[in-house]
Structure 1
Amino acid sequence: MLFAFQFQSPGPIIFEVGPIVIRWYGLLIASAVLIGVSLSQYLAKRRGVNPDALADLAIWLVIGAIPCARIYYVLFEWQEYAQRPEDIIAIWKGGIAIHGAIIGGTIATILFARLNRISFWQLADLIAPSLILGQAIGRWGNFFNSEAFGKPTNLPWKLYIAPPYRPVEFFDSAYFHPTFLYESLWDIGVFILLLSLFFWGLKNYNRLKTGTLAAVYLISYSLGRVWIEWLRTDSLMLGPFKIAQLVSLSAIALGLLILAWLYWFKRPLPDVVSPRRQHKKAINDR
């Protein structure tokens, strides 16, 4: 064996003083938000969009995405949370679903775009790189919480899981696939792809159509999630099917439809803005 690296979580808590408890999960989410806002503002400047709008949108996204991510997770794990309802709001213990966050964030962005008369697809393009980078950072919260790991393995990069966190069916196994790491690395790859497309679009004016980055995000992230989900042991289920895989396959189909609309049929995506804004834009284009 040329190399070996064993992962082992140091625990979910960074430090605690009396009633004050600082957890890795919360710190990582907060860091992802701050980095994401800064990156989106930078990209907005490069596209000639007011960066202050992205700072304002960030508040909407936090309000829309995090609660929806938790609600999504709790609904599909209701049998467990019905027995301990006091944990429903205990988001610091983990248990949020990125697909729920995307749904909540999309609704928040649509509302923000309508109220501020900004193109939804422009905003989606500016958010996509920050979103996938935030996902890459946030996945490490699963590592510290000893959750979202895969099936047992003896690979050199195996992850040690303490007995209290092991699934009942794999209680005698000590090492598992570090699926948090797989997804984090995949997300970094998608982030590099999206940034490359963004700057290519700046150099090749009008060749990268608005909405492309959002579509590529849907396809590329979902492709990774489909195969990584096969390895996980704690997936949310809908009967015999893994929900994340079903949603990911739907997202891939949606992303392909968007790209076909933009480049095959060569039609622009309708902006999610008010009719007044659309009328004003039509007059200015004459």
Structure 2
Amino acid sequence: MAIAIILATWMAISEGKKRQIMPDDFVDLLLWAVPLGYVGARIYYVIFEWPYYAQHPDQIIAIWNGGIAIYGGLIAGLIVLLIFCYKRMLPPFLMLDIIAPGVMAAQILGRWGNFVNQEAHGGPTTLHFLQSLHLPEFIISQMRINGVYYQPTFLYESFFNLIGLILILSLRHRKHLFKQGEVFIFYVMWYSVVRFFVEGLRTDSLYIFGMIRVSQALSVILFIAALALLIYRRVKVKPKWYLDGSGLKYPYSRD
């Protein structure tokens, strides 16, 4: 996860220079977003497991025992970014565009932590099925837990997000393709679809009403909201093109 954070920061700084955003802005944002992102990820998890934590309040802060949710971290990170942009007078949608690919790359890499820990996997499967996917032997062997083979859902999410990342990196510098905010919107829509289907295979989902997977419900909401935002901004707001950058003179002064 530490490597993933460093990778995301490096990607944001590299792209930010081309869009007239100073590296210090991304480093300063990182110092706020990462710790508060972990707090948000924990709060999200605790909320949807409240019956347990209500009986064991001393475990609420026991993050070392597991229990964080990526959606909670992303939501907290988004809130921090919006406040940060307001304070620094930076264009929030452009910042989201610049940061989104790095976040996606971090998620791709971070899922391999689940692989190492043999967690966040899918339901039981067979050796024959895993071999039919032409997976390397080290993945197949790691998916054997207590004598049972499981679906490598970490790999499914990582692989399909890699495809999404390649598409973003291949298309974002094309002229007159993305308006500001649309790289981020593309990321949200892509990840929502991937997470919806992968979540349906996992065995460790959080539930509401005992039958609706929280991440699937949130994925549907985010996809619809992102699509509506895309249409609204294209029709009503008519934002600048992504390649136009911030419009600030780089390097700029805050004096």
- TM-score scaled by length of structure 2: 0.83
1:233 is aligned to 2:198 = no
Structure 1 residues 45-194: aligned runs within 5 Å: 45-82=17-54, 84-154=56-126, 155=129, 156=131, 157=135, 158=140, 159-162=143-146, 174-194=148-168
8 Å contact kept, 1:94–1:142: no
C-alpha contact (below 8 Å) 1:128/1:217 kept by paired residues? yes
State the TM-score, normalizing by the size of structure 1.
0.74
Q: Between Structure 1 and Structure 2, which shows a larger proportion of helix residues?
A: 2
Counterpart secondary structure, 2:21:
coil
Once residues 138 and 91 of structure 1 are traced to their aligned partners in structure 2, the CA distance between those partners, rounded to angstroms, is: 17
1:175 partner SS: strand
The structural deviation recorded for 1:148 is 0.9
- Structure 1 counterpart of 2:168, one-letter code: L
* 1:93 shift after superposition: 4.0
Distance 1:207 1:266, change over 3 A: farther
Report which stretch shifted further, 93-102 or 243-252. Answer: 93-102
CA distance in 2, matches of 1:245, 1:183: 14
Quick one: distance in 2 between partners of 1:247 and 1:185?
21
What letter matches 2:107 in structure 1? Q
What is the aligned residue count?
227
| Secondary structure at the counterpart of residue 199 of structure 1 | coil
1:220 alignment partner in structure 2: 190
The one of 176, 179, 182 equivalent to 1:209 is: 179
Identity fraction in percent: 38
> Does 1:243 pair with 2:214?
yes
Structure 1, gaps ≥5 residues long: 1-28, 164-173, 270-286
CA gap 1:78/1:162 in 2 versus in 1, 3 angstroms: farther
Alpha-carbon RMSD:
1.9
Residue by residue over 1:80-133, the C-alpha shift from the partner in whole angstroms, topping out at 9 and shown as x without a partner, is 344554443333443211110111001100110111011111111111001111
Letter in structure 2 aligned against 1:136? I
Instruction: Give 3-state SS (helix, strand or coil) of 2:125's partner.
Output: coil
Distance 1:82 1:144, change over 3 A: farther
Q: Report if the CA contact (8 A) 1:94-1:145 is conserved.
A: no
